Amino acid sequence: MDFPLLSIIIFLPAAGALVLLFLRDDLAIRRVALGVTFADFLLCFPLLLGFDTSTHEMQFTETHTWIPGLGIRYALGVDGISVLFVFLAALLGWICVLASWRAIETMVKEFMVSLLAMQTLMLGVFSALDLFLFYVFWEAMLVPMYAIIGIWGGARRVYAAFKFFLYTLAGSVLFLVGIIVLYFQGGKTFDILALMQADLPFALQSWLFFAFLVAFAVKVPMVPVHTWLPDAHVEAPTAGSIILAGVLLKMGAYGFLRFSLPILPEASVYYSTFMLLLSAVAIVYGGFLALAQDDLKKLVAYSSISHMGFVTLGIFALNGQGLGGGILQMFNHGVTTGALFLFVGLIYERTHTRSIADYGGLMKAAPIYTVFLGLFTLSSMALPGLNSFVGELLILSGAFAARPVIAAISILGALLAAAYLLSMFRRVALGAAEVGERFRIWDLTRREVAAALPLAVLVIWIGLYPKPFLTIIGASAEHLLEQVHGVEGAE
């Protein structure tokens, strides 16, 4: 395709960040940031409408020579696995701006510049078809995210930002070593599509699988490298939590889909049971941790560990239902958990407390807020008719087909989700109107409704009619399974 739609989508936020550098008025800065991120979101509709769901081939591709001596190219493209996450990142971009409209009052320009820079880098990760370019986007995200947590976060923001940076960097160093080895062993190329065709010996695949696993497991995050997540979420501003939950956690799972499975198929099959066990541990352990929380943000953060465990469970079931459900659940988690962090942030702006014990009777004080919170809470616990139910059903179906005992253990995570989420909603929203007496509470403003409404629409749409989303995923997921099982002729 001649028109560089992907490049425009990726670098429009960066261009907007440059414009912000010349503005001084905070209101103008907010409006420009909102305009740029919303325009970026609108550009994703031609991407989706022009996407051919009948093929697994990369679409909207762009290729230019970058560093010819090393065979490094500026190569972009999307398939059914990545196009939904480009859309999700663009959607959450302008929602983050709206969420920060009143929450960020100091250094507004610097915050919005960091947010827009983050947007460009996230979009680049999901679009890169050159491994070196991918790594540049992947690593560069550390800088604006560190700033967002470390400058605009809570009381322990420096500790949380440093822990996030240290964990992610440690994983990325091993990832870089793996990339260099893959470059030399895979034909001295960084072309991701070409590397998928490389015939690597099993011993090398095994080494690379665990090198990549460390980097991707930190991002997901998987137990036991998950401890940075609650600290980062609790201390991050609302927009930072939305980005972390909505997009950054998806990058670890995306790494498994884009690199581990197609480039290291034999190792992926061989170690699939180990990955399913790790996933089950994350599902159950994360659920118990969430059940023990009194802090609203910590509860949602630990629930993310459990819910992302379902994603990796589906991916490493290595069958059609599990993989399709895992990819869809990645998208669902970004929508639902991003929304929950948005609503935790909105009520924190009003009360300046996240302790569940401080709330009660929110339904009477803020009924519109409570309706939205109830919808996203039910979505997170995978109520039939809402988005997460479709993903979890497919994942568990695939997991039972692959490893019935592990799948049965994982169901406990769904029961725990119902326990901690319903308990949270009962304590926060129902009962006597204590919250209205303790704090000055007002219901959602039009700006806040505008931020929540598209997420609510997606929750209901995917729950009642998931076919368009599964159709987008279908051909690419099927081809990925062929790449994995083609090695041993299975399935």
**Contact partners, residue 31, CB within 8 Å, separation at least 6:** none
Q: What is the mean pLDDT of residues 446-473?
A: 95
Residue 198 has pLDDT above 90, yes or no: no
Classify strands 72-78 and 59-67 as parallel, antiparallel or unpaired.
Answer: antiparallel
d(Cα 247, Cα 317) in Å, to the nearest integer?
Answer: 23
Q: Which pLDDT belongs to residue 489?
A: 37
Q: Which pLDDT belongs to residue 187?
A: 83
Cα 6 to its chain centre, rounded Å, is 19
Choose among 323, 302, 149, 164: nearest CA to 240: 149
Whats the size of the chain, residue-wise?
491
Residue 488 has pLDDT above 60, yes or no: no
- For residue range 27-51, list pLDDT tens digits in order: 999 999 999 999 999 999 999 999 9
Which range among 197-206, 405-414, 426-435, 446-455 shows the weakest confidence by mean pLDDT? Answer: 426-435
DSSP 257: I
d(Cα 14, Cα 37) in Å, to the nearest integer?
Answer: 10
Residues 462, 465, 471, 477, CA torsion sign:
positive
Which range among 317-321, 326-330, 405-409, 430-434 shows the weakest confidence by mean pLDDT? Answer: 430-434
Nearest-Å Rg of the Cα atoms of the chain is 21
Average pLDDT, the chain: 91
d(Cα 168, Cα 299) in Å, to the nearest integer?
Answer: 22
Task: Return the bridge partners of 75, or none.
Answer: 63
Q: Which pLDDT belongs to residue 490?
A: 37
Residue 437 has pLDDT above 70, yes or no: no
Residue 348 has pLDDT above 80, yes or no: yes
DSSP string, 329-371: HHHHHHHHHHHHHHHHHHHHHHHS--BGGG---HHHH-HHHHH
Please count the other Cβ atoms lying within 10 Å of the Cβ belonging to residue 176.
Answer: 15
Question: What's the pLDDT band for 360 if we cut at 50, 70, 90?
Answer: confident
Q: Which pLDDT belongs to residue 470?
A: 95
Tokens 């958990």, residue located? 337
Residue 414 has φ and ψ, to the nearest 5°, of: -65, -40
Residue 371 has pLDDT above 90, yes or no: yes
d(Cα 62, Cα 4) in Å, to the nearest integer?
Answer: 7
Which range among 55-64, 360-369, 428-437 shows the weakest confidence by mean pLDDT? Answer: 428-437
DSSP H helical ranges for 236-366:
238-243, 249-255, 261-263, 265-270, 272-291, 296-315, 320-351, 362-365
Burial 232-267 (b: 16+ CB within 10 A, else e): bbbbbbbbbbbbbbbbbbbbbbbbbbbbbbbbbbbb
- In angstroms, the Cα distances linking 248 to 141, 334, 376 are 9, 9, 20
- For residue range 399-410, list pLDDT tens digits in order: 999 999 999 999
Q: Which pLDDT belongs to residue 69?
A: 84
- For residue range 137-165, list pLDDT tens digits in order: 999 998 999 999 999 988 888 999 999 88
- For residue range 265-308, list pLDDT tens digits in order: 999 999 999 999 999 999 999 999 999 998 999 999 999 999 99
Q: Which pLDDT belongs to residue 365?
A: 85
- For residue range 163-189, list pLDDT tens digits in order: 988 888 888 888 999 999 999 988 888
- For residue range 90-103, list pLDDT tens digits in order: 999 999 999 999 88
